[in-house]
Amino acid sequence: MISLKNLTKVYGHGEQSLTVLDNLDVDVANGEILAIVGPSGAGKSTLAQCINLLERPTSGQVIVNGEDLAQLPERKLRVARRRIGTVFQSASLLSRRTAAENIALPLQYLGVTPAETKARVGELLERVGLSHRANHYPFELSGGQLQRVGIARALALRPAVLLSDEATSGLDPETTRSVVSLLRQLRDDLDLAVVFITHEMDTVLHVADSAARLENGRITEQGSLVDLLTDHDSALGRALQPHLSPAEPEAGSSLWHVTYDSRKVPSDWLQLVSAELGEPVALLAATIQSIDGTSTGNATVGLRAPAHLATAAFARHGLRAIPGELAIANAALDHSSDTRATEDLQWA
Amino acid sequence: MGINISSAVQVHALSDTALAELPSLLVPALGETLAMVGIVMLIVIVVGTPIAVALHNMAPGGLFERQGTYSVLSWIVNIGRSLPFLVLMAAIVPFTRFITGTNIGIAAAVVPMSLAGIPFFARLVENCLRDVPLSVTAAARASGGSPLQIIRTAQLGEAVPAILGGLTINTIAMIEYSAIAGTIGAGGIGYVAVTYGYQRFDNTVMLATVILLILMVTIVQLTGDALVRAATPHLSRRK
Ligand SMILES: Nc1ncnc2c1ncn2[C@@H]1O[C@H](COP(=O)(O)OP(=O)(O)O)[C@@H](O)[C@H]1O
Ligand SMILES: [Mg+2]
C-alpha cells in the first residue's frame, strides 16, 4: 500500500521556481496496478523520483505501509527505500556484471551472505524466466530480457511497492505485452502495489487496474479502468480507447459514438435498439475490452432515425451515446429537434 | 694536423658509442625511467582517483553536490593542468627540494611529474565518470547503496574500461615527462638521450634511445588496449 498525500515538488527558488508536481493525492492498494499517464514533460519522472525518494518532495507525504518516508533522514531513507523496488526505463544495468550479478546488487549492498544471495538470485531469475541467462552480460540480452533483469533486481529486497518509469517504452508491442503480463503475474503472486508510469496509452489497457492522468503536475483524472472506459465525459477514457476508423455510413444515415459496459447493458443491445427504432442499426466500427470480468464496448453505428429518438433509445438500454460529425450535420438540419441540436453541437 | 686528426678521432669516439657498450648505458637508464614512471603512476592513481570522484560527485547532479567546494577544487586542478611541464618543473624547484632534499635525481623528478600527472589523471577519470549514464547511479541508489558502495560499484566499476584507457594515455604522458625531467639530471632514458645524443652528437645512442622510447610507448599502448578489452564484456566475450 502506498499513499501520496499533498505531494508537491518545486524546482528552483523564487522567480525561477517551477512547480512540477502540484498537491498530488494518490493511493495504490496492495495487489493494484495504477497506471500514471501523461504527455512528455507532465512531471511523470519527477513523480517517480519523489516516490522512491531519489528526489525529496518539497512538501507532502509518501506513505508506505503506514510510514511517511518523505521526512526521513538520508541514512534511514536508504533502509526505507528497500520497501520500494524501481524498474528503470532502459533497465540501467551494470554493463560489466552478468544478469545474476546485477540482480545480486541490492543484496550485496545490504550485506547478505554469498550463499543466501545465490539462493535468492536463483529464485528471482526463475521468477522472471531467465534462469538460462544467469551468466549473460547485458549486451547479450534482448530489450525484454534486460527489463526482466531490471524487474528481478527491483524485487530482490522483497519490496511492498513496485515502481516502473517507462519500463516498457521503446520495446516492441509483443515484448511489451510479455513484460506487462510478468508484472501482472508478480502483482498477483507478491501482492505488490504497482505504480506503472508510461506515456503509451496502449500499454495501460493491458497492464492497469486503474489509471490517473498527470498533466502539468496535476492529476486531472483518476479512476478504475472500467469506469474511465465507459465514461463519455472522461478525456482519459477516450484516450485509452483504441482508435477506430469507422466505415462510411449509408447516405442519409447519421453517425453515433456509443460506449457501454456489460454490467448495465445486455450484449444484444444492437438488436434491441434496432427493434425500438424500427430500422436496422449499422455497426461501422467496434471494440470490446474485457477488464476484470467486465466487458466495455466502444462502437460507432449508423442510423436514420432523428437525433432525439436515437438518443432516447440508446439511453433506455443504458448506452451512452454522442452523435458523430454526420449526426450533428443532420441534426442541425432537423428543425423538429431544435433543443437537441444545440446540445449536440456543444458536444462536438 | 695531428691535433686535428686526434681531435677528429676523439670527437668520433665521443659521438658514437660502440654497439657493445649500449646495454651498459641503456639498461640502467631504462630501469630509472621505469622506476620514475612506476612511482609516479602509483601516486597519480592513488591521489588522482579520489579527486576525480570528488569532482564528479560534487558537481551538479552528483551524489553530494557542493557547488562551492567543486569550484575551488576544479580551479586547483586547472592550475595544475595549465603549466607546461618544463615550466612547472622549474617553478617548483624550491618545493621539490623542500620535499626531497634535492633537486636532481629520480626523487626530485617524481615530485613535478606527480604534480603534473595528478590533475591530468583526475580530469581523465572525471570524464570517464561523466560518461556513465546517470540512470545507473540512480539505479544503484534505488537499490539501497551507500555513497561509497555506489561510487565503487556503479561509478568506478562501470568506468573501468574508460579509466584503463585514460591510464594508458597518462602513462605515456609520464614517459614523455620523464624524458623532459632527464634534462635536469633526473636520469633515465631522457637523460641519456640529452647528454649523449643531443649534447655529444652521439648518433648511435640517439637512435637507440629513440627506438627504446618508441618500444616502451608501444608496449604500454598494447598492454592498455588489451586491458581495456579484457575489462569490457562485449569486447572480451565476442564469439
Ligand atoms: N532536476 C530538475 N530541475 C529543474 N527542472 C526539472 C528537473 N527535472 C525535471 N524538471 C522539469 O520538470 C518537468 C517535468 O519533467 P519530467 O518529470 O521529466 O516529465 P515527464 O517524465 O512526464 O516527461 C519538465 O518541465 C522538466 O523540465
Ligand atoms: Mg519521463
Shortest Cα distance, chain B CAs vs residue A111, angstroms? 10
Residue A329's pLDDT is what? 44
The low-confidence residues of chain B, meaning pLDDT below 50, are 1-13
As a whole number of angstroms, the distance between CA A213 and CA A304 comes to: 37
Determine the distance separating the centroid of ligand 2 and the alpha carbon of A165, expressed in angstroms: 7
Spell out which residues line ligand 1, taking CB within 6 angstroms.
A 11, 18, 20, 38, 40-46
With beta carbons under 8 A apart, name residues in chain A contacting B237.
137, 139-140
Helix (H) or strand (E) holding A206: helix A201-207
Taking only Cα atoms into account, the Rg of chain B, rounded to an integer number of angstroms, comes to 22
Shortest Cα distance, chain A CAs vs residue B233, angstroms? 6
Q: What's the DSSP call for residue A35?
A: E
Residue B15's pLDDT is what? 55
Q: Compare all CA atoms of chain A with the CA of B63 and give the residue at the minimum distance.
A: A54
As a whole number of angstroms, the distance between CA B136 and CA B146 comes to: 14
- Residue whose Cα lies nearest atom 7 of ligand 1: it is A11
Cell digits of residue A123: 529464485
Cell digits of residue A68: 511517511
Determine the distance separating the centroid of ligand 1 and the alpha carbon of A194, expressed in angstroms: 22
Contacts with A293 (C-beta within 8 Å, 6 or more apart), sequence order: none
Per-residue pLDDT of chain A (348 residues; tens, 9 = 90+): 999 999 999 999 888 899 999 999 999 999 999 999 999 999 999 999 999 999 999 999 999 989 999 999 988 999 899 999 999 988 899 999 999 999 999 999 999 999 999 999 999 999 999 999 999 999 999 999 999 999 999 999 999 999 999 999 989 999 999 999 999 999 999 999 999 999 988 899 889 999 999 999 999 999 998 888 877 678 888 788 777 777 888 888 888 888 888 888 888 898 999 999 889 899 988 888 777 778 888 888 999 988 888 999 998 888 888 888 654 444 444 444 433 333 333 333
Q: What CATH architecture does domain A2-226 belong to?
A: 3-Layer(aba) Sandwich (3.40)
A13, A18, A88: residue to mutate for ligand 1 pocket, most atoms within 8 A of CB: A18
Q: Is B135–A90 a contact, with Cβ atoms under 8 angstroms apart?
A: yes
Determine the distance separating the centroid of ligand 2 and the alpha carbon of A42, expressed in angstroms: 8
Atom of ligand 1 nearest to the CA of A217: 14
Q: What's the DSSP call for residue A98?
A: -
Q: Which ligand is nearest to the CA of A49?
A: 1
Q: Compare all CA atoms of chain A with the CA of B135 and give the residue at the minimum distance.
A: A92
Q: What is the DSSP string of A296-312?
A: EEEEEEEE-S-HHHHHH
As a whole number of angstroms, the distance between CA A241 and CA A225 comes to: 11
Q: What CATH architecture does domain A241-344 belong to?
A: 2-Layer Sandwich (3.30)
Shortest Cα distance, chain B CAs vs residue A109, angstroms? 5
Q: Which of A19, A11, A170 is nearest to B61 (CA)?
A: A11
Residue from the list B157, B161, B232 with its beta carbon closest to the beta carbon of A94: B157
Q: What is the DSSP string of A69-84?
A: -TT--HHHHHHHGGGE
CB-CB neighbours of B168 under 10 Å: 20
Atom of ligand 1 nearest to the CA of A48: 17
Determine the distance separating the centroid of ligand 2 and the alpha carbon of A51, expressed in angstroms: 14
Atom of ligand 1 nearest to the CA of A49: 17
As a whole number of angstroms, the distance between CA A32 and CA A191 comes to: 8
List the single best residue of A53, A83, A84, A105 to mutate versus B (max B Cβ within 10 A): A105
As a whole number of angstroms, the distance between CA A236 and CA A213 comes to: 7
As a whole number of angstroms, the distance between CA A18 and CA A272 comes to: 54
Taking the Cβ of residue A140 and every Cβ of chain B, the question of whether any pair is shorter than 8 Å is answered with yes
In 3-state terms, what secondary structure has residue A9?
A: strand
Q: Is A81–B142 a contact, with Cβ atoms under 8 angstroms apart?
A: yes
Taking the Cβ of residue A235 and every Cβ of chain B, the question of whether any pair is shorter than 8 Å is answered with no
Instruction: Answer for the pair A198, A35: CB distance below 8 angstroms, yes or no.
Output: yes
Q: Is A106–B234 a contact, with Cβ atoms under 8 angstroms apart?
A: no
Q: Is B234–A88 a contact, with Cβ atoms under 8 angstroms apart?
A: no
As a whole number of angstroms, the distance between CA B121 and CA B39 comes to: 15
Q: Is A86–B142 a contact, with Cβ atoms under 8 angstroms apart?
A: yes
With beta carbons under 8 A apart, name residues in chain A contacting B140.
105, 109
Ion ligand 2: protein residues whose beta carbon lies under 5 Å: A 44-45
- Residue whose Cα lies nearest atom 2 of ligand 1: it is A11
Residue pairs spanning A and B at CB distance below 8 A:
77
Q: What's the DSSP call for residue B83?
A: S
Domains belonging to chain B, first-starting first, are 24-232 (1.10.3720.10)
- Biggest alpha carbon distance in chain A? 82
- Provide the β-strand partners of residue A19: A10
Domain ranges (residues) in chain A: 2-226, 241-344
Residue B7's pLDDT is what? 36
Residue with cell 484516450: A239
Residue B232's pLDDT is what? 96
Atom of ligand 1 nearest to the CA of A43: 17
